Amino acid sequence: MSGTSAWRDVYLAVGARAISTCGDFLAATALVLAMQERGAGGGAVAGVLIAAALPPVLLARWTGRLADRVDSRLLLIGAGLAQAAVCVALASVGNVAVIVALVAVLGCGLAVTAPVAAALLPAMVTRADLPRASALAQTATSIGLLLAPVLGGVLTGQFGLRVPLLVDAASFLALAAAGLLIRTRRGRPATAGAADRPAFRLRADMLLWSMFVLVGVVLTAVSAVNVAEVFLVRDVLGSSATVYGLLGATWTGAMLAGAWLLTRRGFDDAGLVTVLLVMFAVTSLGVFATGLVPAVGWIFPLFVLGGMANGAENVAAGLLIARRVPDAVHGQAYAAYGAVTGAAVVIGYLVAGLVVGPLPVRWVIAGAGLLGLLATAVLAGPMLRGRRVSRRPVGSSAGATSGPPPA
């Protein structure tokens, strides 16, 4: 891109991200509540959640290439309109199998739009401005996550399932509108020709490969804790549903602050690796300590630390991908990263479902923390060695093209 950042595009992108994230999780909340009220059982609820999470994992190989080779504007508009239509259809059906199938189709749309949006962000700003832009994107996501459960519960309670799903449809229309208005584009033949397109091989970069593995392990542990946490708070510590909800909001709210930790000073790759390792250790240590607390009040400061570390981790990981992967294959890199995080969430949920009950819940949570600490210790060496190898020149531009397409 040129020497200046396209902040108008950044604000459009992060605004659409906040709206669509909120709409997605609002609809998920509404669907889970509706399933429970209809007596569909835990299998149906799990089916909906897994159907939403699996497409970005299974389709990453193809959607990443699509994000790199097809006009980003076309993909955002097309996928946004298609997802809006699916939400309208969801609002009109009641069969569980059909609902699960339509949710899977929505997940396919997310598998396309997520790497497109992620790869567009470094194309909008200069290298120096990328930490701030990444923090804005993380903030938008966190705000959407904070608002979604409340809105989903209120709207479902007042109007049933139809209204939340129509709200979700409107959020996808907002995403399509943003795709139309954003001037930064990538994936067009003029800017990313197949002849000179570099290959994306994750294993060629020890730092990134180790980071992907570490993210997967720690997120698997945290996802298992998300399942076990309700039993610790409600059954073991005897606290209320309100406190449980406040704990979730505390973690997500702390992510807002953590996302901005990296914007105060410029970090090179070596500095980002150090930050990542420290934050992963803090997150894992907080999880471990959560399994040992004598009272629920101790969990709040632990969740503040864990949430802040989580927010910083997300931004640091995105920055490393943007810096060390060639611009033309950013879509494949971010799709692969999304596949790792999505798979980790599903595996964490499944493992927790198997061990919560047979094992004491404190053991499950403390064990998850220990797993994260062990993974951090094992992978610290490869990451620290890999940081010494710069995959891109320091002065390399961060993006593809900015501004309207040539006439």
| CATH number of the structural domain spanning residue 230 | 1.20.1250.20
176 with 244, same domain: the answer is no
DSSP string, 89-136: HHTT---HHHHHHHHHHHHHHHHHHHHHHHHHHHHHS-TTTHHHHHHH
127 with 231, same domain: the answer is no
Positive or negative, the Cα torsion across 302, 307, 308, 312? Answer: positive
159 with 55, same domain: the answer is yes
Question: What is d(CA 175, CA 20) in angstroms, rounded to the nearest whole number?
Answer: 7
141 with 241, same domain: the answer is no
Contacts for 349 with CB less than 8 Å, ≥ 6 apart: 46, 49, 50, 223, 224, 226, 227
Determine the average pLDDT of the residues in 143-148. Answer: 82
Give the residue from 255, 268, 191 showing the smallest Cα distance to 222. 255
- Which pLDDT does position 299 carry in this prediction? 92
Query: Which of 163, 187, 211 marks a domain boundary?
Result: 187
Task: Please count the CA atoms within 13 angstroms of the CA of 268 that sit on its side-chain side.
Answer: 11
Domain that holds residue 54: 1-187
Residue 143 domain-assigned?
yes
Q: Do the Cβ atoms of 51 and 107 come closer than 8 Å? A: yes
303 with 337, same domain: the answer is yes
- Please report which confidence band the pLDDT of residue 39 belongs to, taking 50, 70 and 90 as the band edges: low
293 with 372, same domain: the answer is yes
Token duo for residue 51: 């159907």
C-alpha triplet 353, 359, 362: angle, nearest 5°: 100
Give the residue from 179, 156, 241, 236 showing the smallest Cα distance to 15. 179
Q: How many domains does the chain contain in total?
A: 2
257 with 301, same domain: the answer is yes
231 with 115, same domain: the answer is no
Question: What is d(CA 370, CA 351) in angstroms, rounded to the nearest whole number?
Answer: 15
pLDDT per position as a tens digit, 304-321: 999 999 989 988 999 999
pLDDT per position as a tens digit, 187-235: 765 444 445 566 677 778 889 999 999 999 999 998 888 888 888 888 8
Q: Is the pLDDT reported for residue 394 higher than 70? A: no
Residue 162 domain-assigned?
yes
